[in-house]
Structure formats: structure tokens, C-alpha cells
Structure 1
Amino acid sequence: MESPEMNVGDLVALLSTCDPNTPLRLAMNPYFPMAHRLAQLVESVDETGRPVVYLAEGPDADSQIGPLPPEAAVALTWQRPVQAAPRRPRRIASA
């Protein structure tokens, strides 16, 4: 059975396809999507004693960048794509 959690190997495999100079950010909270700068990696153990790695934002006040771009929220399936309302034909003023 596959684990519902991503492991370090999964993350390394996904990141190996990316340009190593690209900034790495964390998307949080599907109901109010925000972007955060990553600054730390900490190895620890969870409540059952299993090893776990935490990625964390930095301690700076600007570590939370702001709202996640809509395209990213759609790609994460946190939001549905939004389409503009169909345009109605213009009414012509009567003389």
C-alpha cells in the first residue's frame, strides 16, 4: 500500500526535473491559498518515533509572500478555473 505522505525520495525525484536555480516556495491552506518562502529543513521524529523531515518558512516577516497565484491554486485543484461571464449583445438605444 502506498503511503499518503510524500517522502524525501518523492520530493527529490520531482525536484530533479526543475531548474536548480528556481526559487522554492510552499503553497499552504487550500481554502485561503497563500505562498511562503522556504528557508529551513529540519530532521526530527514524529509522535510515533519515525524519522520525519520538515520544510519550514523563514523567521522573517516577509516569509509569507501573499496570495497564491490563481494558476497555481487551479493546478493544485484547490480552486476551479474561472471563466469570464459570456458577453451579452449590446442594446441599441431607440431614437
Structure 2
Amino acid sequence: MTSPEMTVGYLIDLLSGCDRSAPVRLAMNPFFPMAHRLAQVVQPVDETGRTVVYLAEGPAEKAQLGHLPPEVAVALTWQGPVHAPPRRPRRSAGGK
């Protein structure tokens, strides 16, 4: 992608390899990653006369689905992989 903004053509290229029956979700807010339902696509003209495509979430009560799955946040590089801390050996009943 050479433009600083993703284009519709590039998005179509990315989506062309996806399952056409899969639901579409919007990943938002890298500091508190949440998943949202996508409900609308609108194409207004901006102040420069250029058409811009907006993807919008659904009605407020149904839009936010909850926390983004950790593997998605890792794939988006919003979070690093989280590993459990190493286990310490257990002490015996005698305290040694």
C-alpha cells in the first residue's frame, strides 16, 4: 500500500481471500481493545470534493461485542504475547 490511507480497492483485495460468509468485525482502541459489529457503509464527499467511504458500527446497544480476542490484539501488534509466569517449586509440608 503506497497511500497513507487504505483505499477501497486495497480493502477489496484484502477481503477477496476471506470467507464470504464470515461476519465482519471492527477492532477498535489499541489501549483497551474491543470488538464491534459493522453495520453500515456510507460514501459522502469530503470538504475537498473527494469521495470517502466510511465503515460504521451498528446501533449502540448491539454494536460492542466485548473484548477483542487476545490473539487478534497480538496479530494487530496492539499487545505482545502474554505468557504465564514461570512456576516456582512448591515447598514441602515441613517448610523446607
Q: TM-score, normalised by structure 1?
A: 0.91
| 1:31 lines up with 2:43 in the alignment | no
Q: How many corresponding residue pairs?
A: 95
Q: Please report the RMSD computed on the Cα atoms of aligned residues, expressed in angstroms.
A: 1.6
| Matching residue of 1:84 | 84
**Are residue 55 (structure 1) and residue 55 (structure 2) matched?**
yes
Task: Extract unaligned runs of 5+ from structure 1.
Answer: none
Which SS does the other structure have where 1:52 is aligned?
coil
Identity %: 71
Structure 1 residue 19 and structure 2 residue 6: aligned? no
* Unaligned runs of at least 5 residues, structure 2: none
| TM-score between the two structures when normalised by the length of structure 2 | 0.90
Structure 1 runs (4+) deviating above 4 angstroms are none
Encode CA deviations 1:34-87: one digit per residue, 9 max, x unaligned.
111011000012233221100001125111111111111111000111000001
In 2, Cα distance between equivalents of 1:94 and 1:6: 64
